[in-house]
Homo-oligomer: A and B are copies of this chain.
């Protein structure tokens, strides 16, 4: 392969910096351009998501680029969901019945800095900060950038452009506005927005609540979650309807209303958030949207990856993991190219063909999980299902994986297959419980047999009807 080609990467977030690193490792000349300042030099924007869930698919991408070990040093394992009811009672629901299956809370800027350091250490990577992409010439793989400070404009050109410029991607917008090809596109907003608030570390620097869990306060229509940070704090996120609800962003407009709402719904959390009201009004309210599109490439010259191609809502903790998995899949397609010179059009086509059904699936799973987290985690039938899944996973660790495990801990099957099988299993178990055909008191091997048999029947009936 001619690996001397020049790749112009737009966007040095998590996906772009890992992709730059990996492409440099493959021998390409990489220019990575980022509109923001170098986050290693500045403090973070207030209100931006500051920790994320890192799990097996993401770790696989980091491993590919040789940075998994360093990333793990930044991780706090979260073994399960800690559910908080209105009275402040908690119970822990593990993510898996198997040992060693958990997700990690990791600092977004911390991980991004690690990846930038690793990319920058490569001799064939140039990173340019403070230059926002203003327009893209998709057919010629060139783009115009504006310097944040001087407003000076520069044109840069590569053999190809890889757009990793996130949910608001300028590269994707250029594709949307190009009338020479049909561009399927969707942006779907939830009726909810989100807002971040902090549980600070205790005076002694410790954690004010359980460190090793993802905390959830499910309240049906709205919820609060919290993930731990290395410094003893937690980042709390409120998910709340914008409007048309008793409490919503449209009517939480006074300190009294905010206090009333939190005290009523989340009394145990209120006690941990001394700056609640101040932060509520200081921090922005962010939207929750899903973006899907196709094709991901144009003219065989430009390709979008990561959030630029498939932004998802955060409820499965898979946004970053899916983006890192993009890098793995793209790398595999390149690895399998046998030609002397790279046919980028073919590479891009094969990449989308291999990948799109999986990113569509995780987008849908993430919306499912929104409803699961805010409502179902509080429902008795759902809690029974989780108990059955824990029994099956702990008793038959090599045989059974729940939908959550298929998505989160099984990086060798795709999201689409995890969705197909996982939804069928959920439907089987929920109906078997509802029909009193299984209970947690039954012999585990009997539960396993009936769940597998019912799952297969569901998949077969779907295949007959919809194939």
Name the interface residues of A433-467: CB closer than 8 Å to any CB of B. Answer: 434, 461-462, 464-466
Q: Are A461 and B187 in contact (CB under 8 A)?
A: no
Of residues A381, A426, A431, A465, which shows the largest number of chain B Cβ atoms within 10 Å of its Cβ? A465
A14 interface hit (Cβ, 8 Å): no
Taking the closest CB of chain B, its distance from the CB of A421, in whole angstroms, is 14
A287 interface hit (Cβ, 8 Å): yes
Binary contact track A371-394/B, C-beta < 8 Å → 1, others 0? 000000000010000000000000
A44 interface hit (Cβ, 8 Å): no
Name the interface residues of A167-190: CB closer than 8 Å to any CB of B. Answer: 182-189
Name the interface residues of A331-386: CB closer than 8 Å to any CB of B. Answer: 381
Q: Are A431 and B188 in contact (CB under 8 A)?
A: no
Name the interface residues of A188-241: CB closer than 8 Å to any CB of B. Answer: 188-189
Name the interface residues of A273-325: CB closer than 8 Å to any CB of B. Answer: 287, 289, 292
Taking the closest CB of chain B, its distance from the CB of A181, in whole angstroms, is 9
A430 interface hit (Cβ, 8 Å): yes
Residue from B186, B423, B431 within 8 A of A185 (CB atoms) = B186
A157 interface hit (Cβ, 8 Å): no
Contacts of A6 in B (CB 8 A): none
Name the interface residues of A86-132: CB closer than 8 Å to any CB of B. Answer: none
**Known: A182-B289, A287-B182. Is A431-B465 also a contact (CB below 8 A)?**
yes
Q: Are B186 and A434 in contact (CB under 8 A)?
A: no
A349 nearest in chain B by CB position: B244
10 contacts between A and B (CB under 8 A): A182-B287, A182-B289, A183-B187, A183-B189, A184-B189, A185-B185, A186-B187, A186-B292, A426-B465, A431-B461
Taking the closest CB of chain B, its distance from the CB of A250, in whole angstroms, is 12
A134 interface hit (Cβ, 8 Å): no
A427 interface hit (Cβ, 8 Å): yes
Cα distance A465–B382 in the bound complex, in angstroms: 10
Cα distance A462–B188 in the bound complex, in angstroms: 24
A interface residues with partner B (beta carbon < 8 Å): 182-189, 242, 287, 289, 292, 381, 423, 426-427, 430-431, 434, 461-462, 464-466
Cα distance A242–B182 in the bound complex, in angstroms: 11
Given A185-B186, A426-B465, A427-B461, 5 additional A-B pairs, CB 8 A: A182-B289, A427-B466, A431-B461, A431-B464, A434-B464
Cα distance A426–B423 in the bound complex, in angstroms: 20
Cα distance A290–B94 in the bound complex, in angstroms: 41
Contacts of A187 in B (CB 8 A): 183-186
Taking the closest CB of chain B, its distance from the CB of A220, in whole angstroms, is 13
Contacts of A183 in B (CB 8 A): 187, 189
Q: Are B430 and A465 in contact (CB under 8 A)?
A: yes
Contacts of A461 in B (CB 8 A): 427, 431
Of residues A189, A287, A381, A423, which shows the largest number of chain B Cβ atoms within 10 Å of its Cβ? A189
A176 nearest in chain B by CB position: B187
Taking the closest CB of chain B, its distance from the CB of A396, in whole angstroms, is 22
Contacts of A431 in B (CB 8 A): 461, 464-465
Taking the closest CB of chain B, its distance from the CB of A199, in whole angstroms, is 29
Taking the closest CB of chain B, its distance from the CB of A299, in whole angstroms, is 14
Contacts of A189 in B (CB 8 A): 182-184
Q: Are B289 and A465 in contact (CB under 8 A)?
A: no
Cα distance A462–B427 in the bound complex, in angstroms: 7
Taking the closest CB of chain B, its distance from the CB of A389, in whole angstroms, is 14
Contacts of A188 in B (CB 8 A): 184, 186
Contacts of A184 in B (CB 8 A): 186-189, 289
Cα distance A189–B464 in the bound complex, in angstroms: 26
Contacts of A242 in B (CB 8 A): 182
Cα distance A287–B427 in the bound complex, in angstroms: 37
Cα distance A228–B163 in the bound complex, in angstroms: 49
A182 nearest in chain B by CB position: B189
A424 nearest in chain B by CB position: B465
Contacts of A182 in B (CB 8 A): 189, 242, 287, 289
Q: Are B186 and A427 in contact (CB under 8 A)?
A: no
Taking the closest CB of chain B, its distance from the CB of A370, in whole angstroms, is 14
Contacts of A430 in B (CB 8 A): 464-465
6 A-B pairs with the lowest CB-CB distances in the bound complex, closest first: A186-B186, A427-B465, A182-B189, A434-B464, A184-B188, A184-B189
